[in-house]
Amino acid sequence: MVLQEPACGSKTLLQDMQEAYEKGLVSEEEITEAVERLMEVRIRLGMMKDYPSPYEDITYDKVECPEHVKLSVEAARRSLVLLKNENAFLPLDKNKIQTVAVIGPNANSRDALVGNYVGTSSRYITPLEGIQQYVGDDVRVLYAEGCHLYKDKVEFLAETKDRFKEAVIAAEQADVVVMCLGLDATIEGEEGDAGNEYASGDKLGLNLPGLQEELLETVTAVGKPVVLVISAGSALDLSWADAHVAAIIDSFYPGARGGKAVAEAIFGDFSPSGKLPVTFYQGTENLPEFTDYDMSDRTYRYTDKNVLYPFGYGLHYGTIRYENAQISCAQCSVRDAVDVSVDVINESSYTIHESVQAYIQHEEADAYEPGYQLKGIQTVTLQPKETKRVTISLKARDFAIITQEGECVVRPGSYRIAIGGQQPDARSAKLTGSDVAALVVRREGAQTPVEY
């Protein structure tokens, strides 16, 4: 068998796979099966000339029709994660503000809206534009770029920090500052996108790049309250910001009109409801070496140390409370499903889209098994002061582990099930001021294999 050079991953497929085949580590049948799956997806997408694409005749006016634009903005609203809101600083009341300063390299950046692998929208709304449109003529909006995304100056022939003074002046004149910092595809895109001297390979750290951290410190030192809006597709170390700014919103890459959603959230048209899909760490000093493939101290499943913002965490404007958690059976067979139910109570004055999360932990786990694992999630929409009962069904497969021999099995024993709006860790409890309900189910019988 001879492998032909592919477009991507050429070393893995052309050299490593060939070597694995020659050593008998993988069979031609297994390779064929994998290739067939890949080609099936290509055929279904219409990427093969003998199989016409069902999407070829869709026109731009259909792609960007009013319904899709509306959906794009709603997706941006639902994806915002409120990481900090000290003393309920947000939302802002525009009737009590005369001037707002919008500062940062991502404040008016289209690249920071969409990341990579995107089409071209007919309209972009950056955070600066979103705030300008929202407040209209009622509030003066000052703008300063502050610094380049990752270089030490904005203008090529200028002195370093050439936009710092402008940012300080804007902050001094404002009642509140909105700092827009983070990354974009030129830093964390794939090789072709991130082809610059700062980010032409893997991430070297989790800090804000370039002068952004120093800009944040300089502007915060002016003494005005700061709302930090992060644009990025990955976790960052926001330890300094967490200790010094009033509020933090992670917008990720919110889409072409994401700035509209950011402005609406800041001024209270809706409450952020998003939850983090990744763990935010406090620096990299205590993280394992990149070349160490052991999972210890990696991800929420294997560590509770050095965490700034946990996986599954996110705040609201107001309080969501959980009560009356129950399981359908306290003792059952290893093959049985288990339902876990809880009352979710919205005590706020906002409509909340709450993500109810169910985690499982085997109390008699071996050392290599993970801790709590997210096994069920259900989003429920709660009107102000509304209560709904939510039930998540956990199947036998949700209790399974992959053994060191590669088998997928359910083991008998006691399992702890946690249900709530966050993972059952101490850091989440400290940040939110509340714990999640934890219930125990005993699964009886012999170790049982289940499908992957």
Question: Looking at residue 230, which CATH number applies to its domain?
Answer: 3.40.50.1700
Domain shared by 241 and 339, yes or no: no
**Model pLDDT for residues 120-157, shown as the tens digit of each residue:** 999 999 999 999 999 999 999 999 999 999 999 999 88
Question: Which range, of 62-76, 113-127, 360-374, averages the lowest pLDDT?
Answer: 360-374
Q: Judge whether 265 and 255 are in contact, CB under 8 Å.
A: no
Domain shared by 21 and 65, yes or no: no
Domain shared by 124 and 231, yes or no: yes
Domain shared by 253 and 385, yes or no: no
* 297 lies in some domain: no
* 360 lies in some domain: yes
**Model pLDDT for residues 211-232, shown as the tens digit of each residue:** 999 999 999 999 999 999 999 9
Residue entry with tokens 């983090």: 276
- Say if residue 390's pLDDT is above 90: yes
- Say if residue 342's pLDDT is above 90: yes
* 298 lies in some domain: no
Using alpha carbons, select from 314, 391, 358, 332 the residue that is nearest to residue 78: 314
Domain shared by 158 and 243, yes or no: yes
CATH number for the domain spanning 330: value is 2.60.40.10
* 288 lies in some domain: no
Residue 353 bridge partners (DSSP)? 381
Domain shared by 223 and 150, yes or no: yes
What six digits make up the tokens of 15? Answer: 């050299």
Which pLDDT score is estimated for 10?
58
Domain shared by 115 and 1, yes or no: no
**Model pLDDT for residues 276-323, shown as the tens digit of each residue:** 999 999 988 888 888 888 888 889 998 878 999 999 999 999 999 999
Which pLDDT score is estimated for 305?
84
Domain shared by 170 and 34, yes or no: no
Q: What is the DSSP letter of 338?
A: E
Domain shared by 183 and 36, yes or no: no
More confident residue, 10 or 425: 425
Q: Which residues lie closer than 8 Å to 1 by C-beta, 6 or more apart?
A: 18, 21, 28, 31
Query: Whole-angstrom Cα distance, residue 122 to residue 257?
Result: 10
Entry pTM:
0.91
Q: How confident is the model over 77-96, as a mean pLDDT?
A: 98
Which pLDDT score is estimated for 25?
87
Which pLDDT score is estimated for 197?
64
Domain shared by 363 and 242, yes or no: no
* 168 lies in some domain: yes
Domain finish residue from 23, 40, 57: 57
Which pLDDT score is estimated for 114?
93
- Say if residue 202's pLDDT is above 90: no
Q: What is the DSSP letter of 44?
A: H
Residue 21 lies in domain: 1-57
* 7 lies in some domain: yes
Domain shared by 337 and 229, yes or no: no
Domain finish residue from 272, 289, 311: 272
Q: How confident is the model over 388-410, as a mean pLDDT?
A: 93
Which pLDDT score is estimated for 194?
58
Q: How many domains does the chain have?
A: 3
Domain finish residue from 242, 272, 302: 272
Q: Judge whether 334 and 366 are in contact, CB under 8 Å.
A: no
